[in-house]
Amino acid sequence: MPQARETAVYTHGHHESVLRSHIWRTAANSAAYLLGSLEPDMRILDIGCGPGTITADLAALVPHGRVTGVDRAPDILDRARATAAERGLTNVDFAVGDVHALDFPDGTFDVVHAHQVLQHVGDPVRALREMRRVAAPGGLVAVRDSDYAAMTWYPATPGLDDWRDLYDRVARANGGEPDAGRRLKSWALEAGLTDITATSGTWTFSTPQERAWWSDLWAERTLASAYAERAVQGGHATDGQLRAVSRAWREWGTHDDGWFSVLHGEILCRKEA
């Protein structure tokens, strides 16, 4: 098995404000580009599964198959197992794993999936090579990642440009690539994948409920998460600057005409038979 291991630091951590966004994710809102390719008996690997909401959705969609969720953080897998148990799913399991060195034989899975993972890893090309390795001949590698520089919002709120600049600096200092979405096809080609369909998808937050949810979680994350700690410890921001960014998020959330769009790049790659 490959011996390389992750060198990047996961920027967000697993503070409640982070998990609030993770458990909101579903296969429908985060993997729609993949769903039309699923078959009931497929074997699926879900990399970076977190609390397991997408994983559980995928398991429900392949009732005669099996889904394995892996994550580098052992504690979050307890939450994922609870998610699967609450839904009564018996065709899903979870394990600690690193996308740079997956502990599975070649050609194990019909689909190898990762949502918002490659932006946080130290070597995304190696990660894609590993995903390709464990995919069966004719199988699929499916990846979706956000692109922070392409995120856009209205109205222009003083402080949100500072937020994006700060996040960019913290993520890069941690070894990640916050603009991963636009790079997925390039990385896939470098990893040796050739049959690639590249698309994009968005999350949009505009209703009063959506604005409140999105602005509150980022306002809290800016002050209380691992991201906030790394921003200060790395010399990227002071506590006062973090408080100003947090206030900017809350201010944006009060605008009746507020609109925020998160762009994702997507690739669906079929491994050669």
Q: How confident is the model at residue 257, as a pLDDT? A: 98
Q: Calculate the alpha carbon distances from 213 to 53, 81, 90, 217, 253 in Å.
A: 18, 25, 32, 6, 8
135: its two tokens: 């995919």
Give mean pLDDT, residues 94-123: 97
Residue 5's pLDDT is 54
10 pLDDT band, cuts 50/70/90, is confident
Q: Whose CA is closest to 156, among 61, 257, 234?
A: 257
Q: For residue 137, give Cα distances in angstroms to 108, 111, 233, 240, 270.
A: 9, 10, 45, 53, 8
Mean per-residue pLDDT for 25-33?
Answer: 98
Q: In the chain, pLDDT over 70 holds for what percent of residues? A: 97
Band of the pLDDT at 185, cuts 50, 70, 90?
very high
pTM attached to this predicted model: 0.94
What integer pLDDT is reported at residue 4 of this predicted model? 54
Model pLDDT, residue 47 = 98
Asked if residue 239 has pLDDT above 50, the reply is yes
- Tell me the mean pLDDT in the region 195-211: 98
**Quick one: average pLDDT of 165-183?**
96
Q: What pLDDT band is residue 66 in, cutting at 50, 70 and 90?
A: very high
- Using a pLDDT cut of 90, give the percent of the chain over it: 90
User: Looking at this protein, which amino acid is placed at residue 209?
Assistant: Q
pLDDT band at 18 (very low <50, low <70, confident <90, very high): confident
In the block, tokens 């709120």 appear at 157
Q: What is the pLDDT of residue 13?
A: 76
pLDDT of residue 17: 73
pLDDT for 2: 47
The token pair at 128 is 């894609």
Task: Assign residue 150 a region (left: φ > 0; alpha: ψ between -120 and 50; beta: otherwise).
Answer: alpha
> Is residue 129 predicted with pLDDT exceeding 50?
yes
Mean pLDDT computed over 70-91: 96
Residue 7's pLDDT is 60
- Distance (Å, whole) CA 228 – CA 222: 5
pLDDT at residue 1, rounded to an integer: 41
Cβ(121)–Cβ(127) below 8 Å: yes
Cis peptide leading into residue 155 (ω within 30°) = yes
Q: Which of 16-20, 126-130, 192-196, 226-230 has the lowest mean pLDDT?
A: 16-20
Supply the pLDDT for residue 16: 80
pLDDT of residue 14: 77
